Amino acid sequence: MTNPNPHPLHEAAVAFRALHVPGRPLVLPNAWDTASARIIEEAGAAAVATTSAGLAWDLGTADGDRLDRERALGAVERITAAVRVPVSADIESGYAVDAEGVGDTIRAVLAAGAVGVNIEDALYEGQAPLRPVAEQAERIAAARAAADAAGVPLFVNARIDTYLRGAGKVEETLERAAAFLAAGADGIFVPGAVDPVTVKTLVEGVEGPLNVMVGPGAPSVAELAALGVARISAGSGLAQAAHAVVRRAARELLGEGTYGPLAGGLDYAELNGLLGGGR
């Protein structure tokens, strides 16, 4: 029976979920503020995903579970209000100490207007690089339950940091992927794995859409599509590139007194209009 009063995000969540097609990947140049989100949308992105690192830096905090839930999701809410396409929020490990808290975060994510999340298994305190599989599965299950209770088919992307944290390779990654999908995750994100042989093995071994993170030296979008990848993210790459321009420009202006890095900047009227005029 059709729900006569679906959640306001239901349609956007269904649309976002449908974008994850192996061999025809969803490409996400990740945003960190309203300006970057609008620019990415205007460039033709089918959805906008946040980068937790870029967002944390924008708010004056280092990445790695140091940002609090309220400030992080306040930024997400501003981004969802600025664009028309679906938004997925990178919520690090869930902005919570336990599974119950992750459920609270998911309810706040929905209130902020996002229809997808990334939840990572990295640990930044203690000796272990990754959260135990069972504990992380419990957190993912709590996220799934909170979204389901709200009536939103939130896309839960389980990020596995085996490669980034030097905590395993294919075997360990597939073990975690199976447990997280069984707990309610919809997709698996393995940043740090871009070697074509590895990516193909992961595509074949993961029973769900595979997300990889790209940057200089990684295979092209077309090559990754041919391997069966369903989602491609830039992570903090765009934010890093933008901040590199700021540093080059500032150093040259304060040093040589010249302005080379400012060449090629967006036109003032164009950017101003993109963020306000005609919307």
Per the domain annotation, does 276 fall within a domain?
no
3-state secondary structure of 148: helix
3-state secondary structure of 197: helix
Per the domain annotation, does 167 fall within a domain?
yes
Half-sphere exposure of 136 toward its Cβ, with a 13 Å CA cutoff? 28
**How far is CA 262 from its chain centroid?**
29
Per the domain annotation, does 93 fall within a domain?
yes
Per the domain annotation, does 123 fall within a domain?
yes
pLDDT tens by residue, 27-69: 999 999 999 999 999 999 999 999 999 999 999 999 999 999 9
Strands 48-49 and 26-28: unpaired
Q: Could you list the residue range(s) of the whole structural domain that residue 187 is in?
A: 19-236
Per the domain annotation, does 256 fall within a domain?
no
The pTM assigned to this predicted structure is: 0.95
Per the domain annotation, does 160 fall within a domain?
yes
Number of domains in the chain: 1
* pLDDT score at 271: 93
CA distance 127 to 125: 7
Per the domain annotation, does 250 fall within a domain?
no
CA distance 210 to 199: 9
- Strand ranges (DSSP E) for the chain? 26-28, 48-49, 87-90, 116-120, 155-159, 187-189, 210-213, 231-233
Query: For position 29, which CATH number holds?
Result: 3.20.20.60
pLDDT tens by residue, 150-172: 999 999 999 999 999 999 999 99
* pLDDT score at 5: 79
Per the domain annotation, does 193 fall within a domain?
yes
pLDDT tens by residue, 193-212: 999 999 999 999 999 999 99
